[in-house]
Amino acid sequence: MSRFAHRLAYGVGMAFSASCFTALGMLVQHGGRHALVALCASFLLMLVVIAAVSELASLFPSAVGLRTYTKVGIGEFASLIAVVLYLCLVVLVAGIEMRMFLAVATHVWPQLPPWETTVGVFAVVVVAHLCGWRTAAWVQTGLVLLLVVSVVFLAGANFSTAPMEIQSLPALDLASAIVVGLFLFASVEWITTLQVRNLQDAQGVPRVLLAACALLALLFMCLVAALVQMRERGQAVDLFIPQRAMTNVWSEPWASAALVSITALAMLSTFHAGLACGSRLIHMLSREGFLPSGLGRTNAAGTPVAAIAAVALACLLGVGLVQRLPSLEGLAEAGALAISSVYVMYLVSAARLRATTRKRAWRTTLLPRWLLWFVATLLTGVMAVTCWEAHRQSRLGLALLPWMVAAVAVGLMRIRQLRTRAQALTAKPLIASEQNT
């Protein structure tokens, strides 16, 4: 049971980031009084993606998630691109999350030093990971539990205030609201990259994914309903940081404390989960010879220390980059393009592997193959519209940055792998050397 809770915490924590509040604000802005309907539609769409990921997880129970799924489903090159896009997303999310958190924290404490705070947060998260898998899992579970309780409390507190004169909100752009809603659930599937310790754990991954999605949907619905109610009452809500208006229901200094705590919990749980999953991908790429062998080093307890340090450093660089940008819109588009690309790859892999006779413990019989292709096409359409919008706003370069990084990185990885293989031919492993003689 505790393992189920740990995995659920990683899934929910990774998806429920500080920027989710901004995304919820956008969803309410686009969806108006139909924001809840839009959120339900996003949830249903996400269920198709999750069903595809679950099916892949049951096909390859102990694999490193995305790496194996896409490698077998659509090939080595596409798989490497997907993994690098995922890693770019971790860096991007770290940058955006820290910026969101600093925006909130410096609003409450203007003297707060941004760089010292950033380094402090990273140090805490890295130390939690270095203490071993068990400690890290309990830290993540604690963070997510506190986050869930805080969010429910926050939404509930805003429901409980006396209703004022109701102003009708128009439904504005439902399609945009659905797309924004879809990205609220993004990254929940990261749990498939975590190390599996026994067969029962592996077979439970589809259930964890479904539970994580359902819990997230419930939390988001509470917040959206509260935000819609607040706007209908004519209350001014800053939709960039909507949690600020929501915490104003309490008096100072509790309001400021709640604002910083909830944002910090959302940010920390995302950082923590991102570091666990990202480091496993780096470790695996290193073991395969795509990255320097030093990144595959582990400590006595088996924790991939070098990969954890590498991800933390890359995220720190990401924070530095994001802090220098004037606006986050280009990065939001970059993130949307990267995650949509990865989801398309998941769906295509699942659709292609449906045809194989490989044994699987779990199959979504209610989900026809054409639906996987349909959602993949839909997401490709979302990517095309995002590119067009970025082009119109003259920020296509920034939006395509993860793809450019992925193309360069995969090229370098292939060169490195060829060199490693050439060196391995001269080495004499036990079995190979015996066979040669």
Q: Which residues bind another protein (CB under 8 A)?
A: 59-64, 67-68, 71-72, 132-133, 195-199, 201-202, 284, 287-289, 293, 298, 300-303, 358-359, 420, 423-424, 427-432, 434-435
Q: How far is the CB of 67 from another protein (least distance, A)?
A: 7
Q: Which amino acid is at 421?
A: R
- Written as six digits, the tokens of 134 are 């068990």
Q: Which is nearer to another protein, 197 or 391 (CB)?
A: 197
Q: How far is the CB of 11 from another protein (least distance, A)?
A: 19
Overall size of the chain counted in residues: 437
Q: How far is the CB of 302 from another protein (least distance, A)?
A: 4
User: Coil, helix or strand for 167?
Assistant: coil
Q: Which is nearer to another protein, 300 or 355 (CB)?
A: 300
Q: Which amino acid is at 392?
A: R
Q: How far is the CB of 299 from another protein (least distance, A)?
A: 9
Q: How far is the CB of 173 from another protein (least distance, A)?
A: 41
Using a 10 angstrom Cβ sphere, with 0-12 exposed, 13-18 middle and 19 or more buried, the burial of residue 80 is buried
- Written as six digits, the tokens of 326 are 């004037």
- Written as six digits, the tokens of 338 are 């990267």
Q: What is the DSSP string of 135-185?
A: HHHHHHHHHHHHHHHHHHHHHHHHHHSPP----PPPP--HHHHHHHHHHHS
Q: Which is nearer to another protein, 30 or 71 (CB)?
A: 71
Q: Which is nearer to another protein, 67 or 244 (CB)?
A: 67
Rounded Cα distance, 407 and 126, in Å? 29
Q: Which is nearer to another protein, 293 or 327 (CB)?
A: 293
Q: Interior CA angle at 157 toward 155 and 162, to 5°?
A: 120
Q: Which is nearer to another protein, 79 or 341 (CB)?
A: 79
Rounded Cα distance, 222 and 241, in Å? 17
Rounded Cα distance, 256 and 23, in Å? 21
- Written as six digits, the tokens of 304 are 């991939």
- Written as six digits, the tokens of 16 are 């429920």
User: What letter would DSSP give residue 194?
Assistant: S
Q: Are the beta carbons of 399 and 337 closer than 8 angstroms?
A: yes
Query: Using CA of residue 115, residue 121, residue 122, residue 127, what is the dihedral sign?
Result: positive
Q: Which is nearer to another protein, 391 or 428 (CB)?
A: 428
Q: Which is nearer to another protein, 214 or 424 (CB)?
A: 424
User: Coil, helix or strand for 162?
Assistant: coil
Q: How far is the CB of 50 from another protein (least distance, A)?
A: 20
Q: Where are the beta strands (DSSP E) in 103-224?
A: none
- Written as six digits, the tokens of 247 are 């915490």
Rounded Cα distance, 283 and 302, in Å? 11
Q: Which is nearer to another protein, 133 or 250 (CB)?
A: 133
User: Coil, helix or strand for 197?
Assistant: coil
User: Coil, helix or strand for 183?
Assistant: helix
Rounded Cα distance, 347 and 371, in Å? 9
Q: How far is the CB of 137 from another protein (least distance, A)?
A: 11
Q: How far is the CB of 129 from another protein (least distance, A)?
A: 12
Q: How far is the CB of 266 from another protein (least distance, A)?
A: 27
Q: How far is the CB of 339 from another protein (least distance, A)?
A: 23
Using a 10 angstrom Cβ sphere, with 0-12 exposed, 13-18 middle and 19 or more buried, the burial of residue 302 is exposed
Q: How far is the CB of 298 from another protein (least distance, A)?
A: 5
Q: Where are the beta strands (DSSP E) in 267-306?
A: none
Nearby residues of 224 by Cβ (< 8 Å), 6 or more positions away: 24, 27, 28, 35, 36, 39
Q: Which is nearer to another protein, 380 or 420 (CB)?
A: 420
Q: Which is nearer to another protein, 366 or 431 (CB)?
A: 431
Q: Are the beta carbons of 346 and 66 closer than 8 angstroms?
A: yes
Q: Which is nearer to another protein, 359 or 392 (CB)?
A: 359
Q: How far is the CB of 345 from another protein (least distance, A)?
A: 16
